[in-house]
Amino acid sequence: MSEITYKPGHEPHLRETRRIFRNIDRVGYDPSIACFIKDGGYETLKKAIKMEPAAIIDEVKKSGLRGRGGAGFPTGVKWTFIPKGNTKPVYLVCNCDESEPGTFKDRFIVHQDPHQLLEGMIIACYAVQAHYAIIYMREEFPEAAKIVQRALAEAEKNNFLGKNILGSGYDLNIILHRGAGAYICGEETGLINSIEGVRPYPRIKPPFFPAAIGLYGCPTIVNNVESLCQVRQVLMRGGEAYAADGATRSPGTRIIGVSGDVQRPGYYEIISGSITYGDLLYELCGGPKPGRSFKAIIPGGASAKVMRCDEVLKGRNPDGSVRKMTIFDVPMDLDSIAQHGSMSGSGGVIVMDDSRSMPEMLRNLNRFFAWESCGQCTPCREGNPWMLKLSTRICQGKASPEDVDLLKSVADNICGRTVCAFGEACAWPVQAFTTKFREEFLALTRPINAFKPHNPEAAEARKYLTRED
């Protein structure tokens, strides 16, 4: 394979392994099919289309590939949830509604290397025997929509799509469907409703997976952009070889997006579990900004629970004894961080240094969730604006210490009482911020004397309560 040169300033770090992002910011690479084929593209599809669909699913199951959209569900297992003896058409939807704050990996794939996604998607469609598939693209990617549309036409022209693909007798039609700027459309059943042309309210579970009942009432597989690209990697390398790399329970590479207060924010593709959060932030990202130190990390997109950098965590040695560690010693795979009460989600790491006010950060997140709540379930629709009000009041210095507890109790009462995971997504940051940085929240509050009027209206009302004799 020829030597790859990257654009200046975009060279990968030595500890990175670029597979999905191999062609991102590469000199002389463009999103055309000619460029992709010259680079060995669509060879995996040619191989896969000669296999039995069940053999492909087996291969993906063997690889241990887990979904990259945030939940980390095994992709191959998800595919087998299509009911046996199903006679309805099967649909496959590619979730390109990337809108979790802190996550920005799919953007580069669809803008710079769309054929990689198409190849993975065609293989996935063939494996589940879908003849109609949809790429759901978020509205904020108007240029990517044009690029992918062009890529679809090119692929069809080259007989990688359409009727009788590569002489195999298999037909597939992929269309592009654009969203309109709603975060909730990233939830798979909300996304399906959005495609059906109704308000994108998430559907009631069960069924827990749209693989049973999904788009138009038919079995539907929803996979993330990166997951589908990883499917191509699995078929390219073979399931067992893929499973051999990285953490046992979450093999393969992971794309990490780092944002916030580090010297070199950006994307990094690493072998899962090969580095720790400390390696990522100090080595790959160049450490904190001059004169600053790290204070808090949100390890997996805005909805993950925040971690304090000085927090002492309990880790287990191989012999079973307990050792003390910090977030910087936690390996970057899908599960390690979950043992410490947060999640690795979609790989968006948001870093905050000691110059940041945590209540202010939480207020920003509350505003995001209040804005994006779809309004279907009362706890979330009403709770989010309430939490925003409370955190705004705390930031303005007008809150009492009890308001901090109230803020947490509102979050506790949203969590688990909604149709979709948005309830947890909006509650977790509040729970984590108010518990872990409680002193910072309390410092902004002042006790309110119930007998002392605290606004002009109260002072006005009070005059009727005082006796003048």
**Strand partners of residue 406:** none
Whether the CA torsion 21, 24, 27, 33 is positive or negative: it is positive
Distance of CA 286 to the CA centre of its chain: 24
Query: Toward other proteins, which CB reaches closer, 64 or 359?
Result: 359
Whether the CA torsion 272, 278, 279, 280 is positive or negative: it is positive
DSSP H or E run through 353: strand 348-353
Nearest to 268 by CA among 284, 252, 282, 279: 284
Query: Token pair 């780092």 is at which residue?
Result: 258
Q: Which letter does DSSP use for residue 204 in this model?
A: P
Query: Toward other proteins, which CB reaches closer, 2 or 87?
Result: 87
Distance of CA 172 to the CA centre of its chain: 28
Centre a 10 Å sphere on the Cβ of residue 468 and count the other Cβ atoms it contains: 4
Q: Minimum CB separation from other proteins for residue 146, in Å?
A: 9
Query: Toward other proteins, which CB reaches closer, 144 or 415?
Result: 144
Q: Minimum CB separation from other proteins for residue 207, in Å?
A: 20
Alpha-carbon gap, residue 403 to 386, rounded angstroms: 11
Q: Minimum CB separation from other proteins for residue 404, in Å?
A: 20
In angstroms, what CA-CA distances link 372 with 1, 61, 198, 270? 45, 35, 17, 31
Q: Minimum CB separation from other proteins for residue 107, in Å?
A: 5
Query: Toward other proteins, which CB reaches closer, 196 or 460?
Result: 196
Q: Minimum CB separation from other proteins for residue 181, in Å?
A: 3
Query: Toward other proteins, which CB reaches closer, 196 or 310?
Result: 196
Q: Minimum CB separation from other proteins for residue 327, in Å?
A: 18
- Token duo for residue 423: 């309830």
Centre a 10 Å sphere on the Cβ of residue 11 and count the other Cβ atoms it contains: 12
Burial class of residue 2 (count of CB atoms within 10 Å of its CB; 0-12, 13-18, 19+): exposed
Query: Toward other proteins, which CB reaches closer, 44 or 99?
Result: 99
Q: Minimum CB separation from other proteins for residue 114, in Å?
A: 16
**Strand partners of residue 136:** 95, 177
Q: Minimum CB separation from other proteins for residue 312, in Å?
A: 26
Query: Toward other proteins, which CB reaches closer, 99 or 274?
Result: 99
Q: Minimum CB separation from other proteins for residue 130, in Å?
A: 12
Query: Toward other proteins, which CB reaches closer, 89 or 287?
Result: 89
Question: Could you give the residue ranges of the DSSP H alpha helices within 141-224?
Answer: 142-157, 188-196
Half-sphere exposure of 346 (CA within 13 A, CB side): 25
Query: Toward other proteins, which CB reaches closer, 32 or 173?
Result: 173
Could you list the residues that contact other proteins (CB under 8 A)?
89, 98-104, 106-107, 132, 138-143, 175, 177-183, 194-200, 216, 257-261, 265-267, 298, 302, 348, 350, 352, 356, 361, 364-365, 367-368, 371-372, 374
- Token duo for residue 65: 């590939």
